Amino acid sequence: MQVKLLALCFLLAVASLASGCGLAKNLTGQNAGTVSELWSDVPTLDGATKANIDIPLPLQLIIQGFIQAANADKSNTTKLDKFDFIAFQTDMTPQQVGEFYTLDKMKAAGWNAEDMPGCATGADTSGAASAAGFCVFGKTGDGGKSTALMIIPFKDDNQKQTQVFFVRFEATEKK
- In this predicted model, what pLDDT tens digit does every residue of 156-168 receive, in sequence order? 878 789 999 999 9
Q: What is the pTM of this model?
A: 0.73
**Residues in Cβ contact with 91 at an 8 Å cutoff, skipping those fewer than 6 apart:** 47, 161, 162
Q: Give long-range contacts, CB 8 A cutoff, 24+ apart: 23-28.
A: 23/60, 23/61, 23/64, 26/64, 26/67, 27/55, 27/60, 27/63, 27/64
- In this predicted model, what pLDDT tens digit does every residue of 107-140 receive, in sequence order? 999 998 888 889 987 655 555 556 888 899 999 8
